[in-house]
Structure 1
Amino acid sequence: MPRDPGLQPERTSLAWSRTGLAIAVNAVLALRSGFSSEQPALAVAGVALFVLAAVAVAHGTVRRRQLDARHEPVPPSPVVMLGVAATVLLAALAGIISISIEATR
């Protein structure tokens, strides 16, 4: 019996888009704090987060196409999941640092 993917491809794509948006919001915070407090490392982290946000959205598009094309479950790549974990950690740290910089002003 063929597998019915239902709405899984759409949900997966939307989840990756939301993840990319959350990373982009942290990038804005990091850039703003980096430029306003003249801390280039934080600004560089913001630029890196913007790039990683674009990668997350692009991966969501690829993942949706994978799920649409196949009729059996497609497990996510462990390398991609490790990259997402590292990106989320970087975004969280940049967000915490930027908020603490703004709070000390």
Structure 2
Amino acid sequence: MERGSFLETWRSLPDSNEVQKDFPGLAISSAEATLDRLAASNMFFIAKRKHANQDVFYFSAKIPRGVPFLIELTTVIGNPGLKCAIKTPSPEMAPLFFEAVENLLKP
């Protein structure tokens, strides 16, 4: 999914399909290593931007039944604390998705 279609899809889903979770104990020490780890689990990097002192990463993923997930990770590289927001047509899948993200990003 390219950046333009990611943004179109994110905007097309209602706000009620967005779910957020904070992971206060997780830290990303290397953006490159994290991108590689997530790509190995079929989470595809779309874009990165700076927001104040934070780095915001955008990814897309699909679970086995073909349900798309649009993912936004916000963090300060090297500091504990990660915020994950997802938008998906199946928000009831969010707890399983967050558990997978936490396991992927644990040191």
TM-score w.r.t. length of structure 1? 0.31
Q: Which has the higher contact order (CA 8 A, sep 6+)?
A: 1
* Larger proportion of strand: 2
Bigger radius of gyration: 1
| Greater helix proportion | 1
